Structure 1
Amino acid sequence: MSPRPFTVAMIAGMPYPMTKASCIRVGHLVHNLVNEFEDVTVKLFAYCGSEEPPRSDERVQYHLVAGFDADKRKYYSWSGKLRADVGIVRRLIAQRRSIDVIHCHTIEGLGIALAFKACTFSSAPICMDVHGPVVPELVHYGLIPDWRPVLAIVTALERAMLSFVRHAFVSNDGLRQLMLERAPKCPVSVVYDYVDPAAFDTTRVDQSRISVLRRQYKPGSECLLTYVGMFKDYQGVDFLIRAFAVLSGRHPSLRLLLIGDGPCRADYQALIDANGLADRVHLPGLVPHRDVVNWLEISDIVVSPRIDNEITRAGFVSQMPEYMAAGKLIVATAVSGCSFLLRDGAGILVAPNDEQALVDGIEGALALGSEARRAMVDRAMRNVMQFTWQQGIVEVYRVYCELMGSDRT
């Protein structure tokens, strides 16, 4: 007898879809669950995102609520979030009879899940995707003050909320250790930000789109140095801009392409202007995730300049597997899982928080001959082929089955 079908309520306290690492992770989970396991249906609850939402079908249903302002200046504010969270709780209540398992994302998603359970007395077990260290991120984004009594209260609240979680998923080993300290009785599984290699195969690029991008950004066969990600201070883009200011004088054909957006955009623009780089640095803004493969195709070197701090030690560079699957030459700081992914010479690793280290690493990449470059890219490709969502999603499914009991027939 085949297993009884079951429904997962995927609660994402964030805009969806949106070109943001946490949202992309949610999308990968949903897509791979229904593709790999015929007995799973997913109902996704989130805020309306900045992109056109996908259509619901028999296996995936989207419950997206309005009322959240995704403007980067207002993204991290309690008022916008709480209004939308109430809307998500209402949608969950309406679907309560069909929910077998709850998979919430971030501490906010857990808050929504607990509110739903309090309103309905649902017996659905909760598993949680922990995207980062909770208290440091709340301080970092100005949602709570960095004041010891407040930190103690929030930490205690976090522990109390985590006591309702039956299983936690984290994207890296540093975050796993943090979870074991915060909730020692909660089982934890490491489910990395894997990659779908087929999505970044060069055969998937849009040649007409590539032609447009080349005409705009490489009209004279310029060499493109590219960063893809959010503009947040811990991403180290300011270090990359200062490193580029040094490199630009030595390499007239070098251009810097910064794809993304976020709260630090104005600071980065001011730094670009102060160094006289306005005609050498391009900021096209956020692009749809499905279009990233085309931007990577025109790039010569991709860079991850992330700094080392309390947040990044419990983080993961989710773009890195995509860079590797796209066959790009990579320069990265040795933080947030990059040392593991780029092991065995699969990329050029440099010290974090050091613009001169970035200068030296990029110079090394520019100096590589074609054979050495190809060998490095091939090593990266071999590493990332052991890092696919098709492999990683198995652990998520196993946990669901365990939480519902071994006999689901």
Structure 2
Amino acid sequence: MRVLYHHRTRGRHVEGVHIRGIVGALRQQGHEVRVLSFPGADPEAEPGLAEAAAGAATAGGDRAAGDDQATAGNGRGWLASLVTRLPGVVFEFAELAYNLVTWWRIRAEIARDRPDFIYERYSLFLFMTIRMARRRGIPIILEINDSALVERVRPLYLKALSRRIERWCLTRATGLVFISTYFRDLLTEHYGQLPPGVVSPNAVDARFDPSVHDREALRRRHDLAGRVVCGHVGVFARWHGVSRFVDEVIDRLREVPALTLLLVGDGVDLPGVRREVRARGLDDRIRLPGRVPHHLVPEWIACMDYAFLPDSNEYGSPMKLFELMAMGVAVVAPDYDPVAEVIDDGATGWLFPRKDMKACVDRVLELASQPDERDRVGKAAQAYIERERRWQHNADQLLGLLPEPMPQ
């Protein structure tokens, strides 16, 4: 089938990973997929790959020290950067105006090579794709990762208008893909009867496979041999809870001398965490390698014995959770519904009461002396991902929403 994948994101962070995952899975099944991105964005060009290749060719240095999403596009995303700096309500009017851009671009794509269906990563205020698909009789599936009904990092000013547009879009799509049951239930409660839908959390690609990584060699490279390593991969930001975890654990590390924390990532809270770690003389016990390219993340996860996710939110599907589990690294995680959909407490991971950072730290410290438990749960987590959470599973789910018969 001919598929048009449309999105309005910059594709630089976790959304780029998701886009590449779905597009790659559909192409592996033999479908022709064209990606229509925000001008200047190219989520299919994975950030860091070109830089890593150049660095390896010229220096042969430590590839894990490379940059991450900040290098995406080498400056080609200037338009997106400019728009996202607009003040509140002005930014939302710009989002509304983007419907004109969408009309022009979708019309050209349909005229050039009419797709068999359109797959769109839903964005607030974006209604033109639905309107054009319905007018042209083209099935359209919306992937729901955001909503006007949930708390967002950027405050929403035109809330009433955004919810009216959202209801109109969701009730007129051919099918809906929700990243969590929470999202599906919330939107159904507020908007009533919705089209057929599936709950399809995040997934991982073939790079997240422990059998293709020499764990001991990687641990030696990063001076982690002989240690018990508990890790985290993600953004150092308030809502992710990493700094709060460090505040809670930093005085208790002496309880477990063998334990080393490996915290991979970057963000606004990282400088403060780094200062605190250095002030306490714990640089060797709390490792902070910073931001790494996504294609090198599996190598860092391979160094971990287990991991922790200090916080999340009511509706999200944390990508890092699936990547860790796919590598056989079980996770201590908060008991939000979308997380509990993925982790079976005591079987494929360990849950703690959300926002209870002491409970999180307690479990992390306890597990440091339980290698058999870590191994058992890690293997079960990996088996779960193999059964249900590879990108091919997500592709199969979304294709099941299409009307019959569809061209093959």
TM-score norm. by structure 1 comes to: 0.76
The whole-number CA distance in structure 2 between the counterparts of 1:259 and 1:220 is 17
Question: Once the 2 structures are TM-superposed, how far is the Cα of residue 129 of structure 1 from its aligned partner?
Answer: 0.3
Matched with 2:18 is 25
**Which of 78, 96, 103 matches 2:119?**
103
**Which of 261, 264, 270 matches 1:259?**
264
Matched with 1:353 is 355
**Which of 21, 26, 46 matches 2:37?**
46
1:211-230 to 2 correspondences below 5 Å: 211=218, 214-215=220-221, 217-218=222-223, 221-230=226-235
Question: Once the 2 structures are TM-superposed, how far is the Cα of residue 228 of structure 1 from its aligned partner?
Answer: 1.4
The whole-number CA distance in structure 2 between the counterparts of 1:271 and 1:86 is 44
The whole-number CA distance in structure 1 between the counterparts of 2:99 and 2:271 is 33
Contact 1:302 1:323 in 2 (8 A): yes
* SS of match in other structure, 1:324: helix
The whole-number CA distance in structure 2 between the counterparts of 1:80 and 1:298 is 46
Matched with 1:294 is 299
Assess, with a 3 A threshold, how the Cα gap between structure 1 residues 257 and 85 changes in structure 2: closer, same or farther.
farther
Q: Which stretch shifts more, 220-229 or 235-244?
A: 220-229
The whole-number CA distance in structure 2 between the counterparts of 1:315 and 1:176 is 12
Assess, with a 3 A threshold, how the Cα gap between structure 1 residues 142 and 340 changes in structure 2: closer, same or farther.
closer
Assess, with a 3 A threshold, how the Cα gap between structure 1 residues 282 and 116 changes in structure 2: closer, same or farther.
farther
The CA deviation string for residues 34-55 of structure 1, in whole angstroms up to 9 with x for no partner, is 112x2x211112244587817x
Contact 1:170 1:190 in 2 (8 A): yes
The whole-number CA distance in structure 2 between the counterparts of 1:395 and 1:281 is 40
Matched with 2:51 is none
1:124 aligns with 2:123: no
Question: Once the 2 structures are TM-superposed, how far is the Cα of residue 357 of structure 1 from its aligned partner?
Answer: 0.5
* SS of match in other structure, 1:299: coil
The whole-number CA distance in structure 2 between the counterparts of 1:283 and 1:88 is 42
The whole-number CA distance in structure 2 between the counterparts of 1:382 and 1:220 is 26
**Which of 145, 149, 165 matches 1:135?**
149
Question: Once the 2 structures are TM-superposed, how far is the Cα of residue 236 of structure 1 from its aligned partner?
Answer: 2.2
Question: Once the 2 structures are TM-superposed, how far is the Cα of residue 70 of structure 1 from its aligned partner?
Answer: 5.0
The CA deviation string for residues 263-319 of structure 1, in whole angstroms up to 9 with x for no partner, is xx3334325534635735444444332211111011232111124xxxx22222222
The whole-number CA distance in structure 1 between the counterparts of 2:87 and 2:145 is 15
Matched with 1:62 is none
Residue type of the alignment partner of 2:261: L
**Which of 2, 5, 9 matches 1:10?**
5
Matched with 1:320 is 321
**Which of 176, 182, 186 matches 2:195?**
186
Contact 2:119 2:143 in 1 (8 A): yes
* Structure with the higher fraction of residues in strand conformation: 1
The whole-number CA distance in structure 1 between the counterparts of 2:289 and 2:263 is 7
Gaps of 5+ in 1: 1-5, 55-64
Q: Which stretch shifts more, 251-260 or 377-386?
A: 251-260
* SS of match in other structure, 1:195: coil
Matched with 1:406 is 405
* SS of match in other structure, 1:104: strand
* SS of match in other structure, 2:299: helix
Question: Once the 2 structures are TM-superposed, how far is the Cα of residue 155 of structure 1 from its aligned partner?
Answer: 2.2
1:363 aligns with 2:365: yes
**Which of 200, 208, 212 matches 2:208?**
200
TM-score norm. by structure 2 comes to: 0.77
Assess, with a 3 A threshold, how the Cα gap between structure 1 residues 406 and 365 changes in structure 2: closer, same or farther.
same
Question: Once the 2 structures are TM-superposed, how far is the Cα of residue 32 of structure 1 from its aligned partner?
Answer: 0.8
* SS of match in other structure, 1:95: helix
Assess, with a 3 A threshold, how the Cα gap between structure 1 residues 189 and 240 changes in structure 2: closer, same or farther.
same
The CA deviation string for residues 102-123 of structure 1, in whole angstroms up to 9 with x for no partner, is 21112248445247669xx543
Question: Once the 2 structures are TM-superposed, how far is the Cα of residue 242 of structure 1 from its aligned partner?
Answer: 1.9
The whole-number CA distance in structure 2 between the counterparts of 1:272 and 1:162 is 44
Matched with 1:172 is 180
Matched with 1:396 is 398
Q: How many residues align?
A: 367
The whole-number CA distance in structure 1 between the counterparts of 2:209 and 2:174 is 37
Question: Once the 2 structures are TM-superposed, how far is the Cα of residue 86 of structure 1 from its aligned partner?
Answer: 6.2
The whole-number CA distance in structure 2 between the counterparts of 1:79 and 1:67 is 18
Question: Once the 2 structures are TM-superposed, how far is the Cα of residue 367 of structure 1 from its aligned partner?
Answer: 1.6
The CA deviation string for residues 329-353 of structure 1, in whole angstroms up to 9 with x for no partner, is 3211222433333315222221221
Contact 2:367 2:373 in 1 (8 A): no
Residue type of the alignment partner of 2:35: L
Aligned identity (percent) is: 20
Residue type of the alignment partner of 2:2: T
Contact 2:315 2:338 in 1 (8 A): no
RMSD: 3.5
